Amino acid sequence: MTGHIYRDVILEQHVRLFRGAMGAEFLFMDYNALPHGANIADECLQSEDIIRMDWSAYSPDLNATEHVWDMLGRRIAACQPPPTCLPELRRALLDEWCNIPHDQIDNLILNMPRRCKTCIALSGRHTPYEPSY
């Protein structure tokens, strides 16, 4: 994904509208992927007065999104039969995304205080967090 695609598809079509629905208290969270840090993405967020949460480059364990992507990847890897072409992969991704149990996502969020304490104790380095999904 490029910075332009990230801006046009994600920020303008989804984030901007969601921010409008949420109001002034909205705080946007992305992570340190290259398209997220592109100047064009920064300019878009600034022009919409969207505040971005700062993330340490050394603490990806504190981003629950990373763990949700891991859940999705594990579910796709377990597909029988596995997807063999792009349309099958697209369908499998959508199906598995919709089937991730909400209690697993809730568990990630509820465990955030524990992960934060561990991360602080380790000076921001990788934590030994083991997913329970």
If you average pLDDT over residues 100-118, what whole number do you get? 90
User: Among candidates 57, 64, 1, which has minimal Cα distance to 32?
Assistant: 57
For residue 128, name the pLDDT band (cuts at 50, 70, 90).
Answer: confident
Tell me which of 24 and 92 has the higher pLDDT: 92
SS3 28: strand
Q: What is the tens place of the pLDDT at every residue in 3-53?
A: 999 999 999 999 999 998 998 888 898 877 888 889 999 999 999 999 988
User: What residue has token string 């991360």?
Assistant: 119
The pLDDT of residue 24:
81
Which residues, 6+ apart, have CB-to-CB distance to 57 below 8 Å?
A: 32
User: What residue has token string 């149990």?
Assistant: 101
Highest mean pLDDT of the ranges 19-33, 60-74, 89-103: 89-103
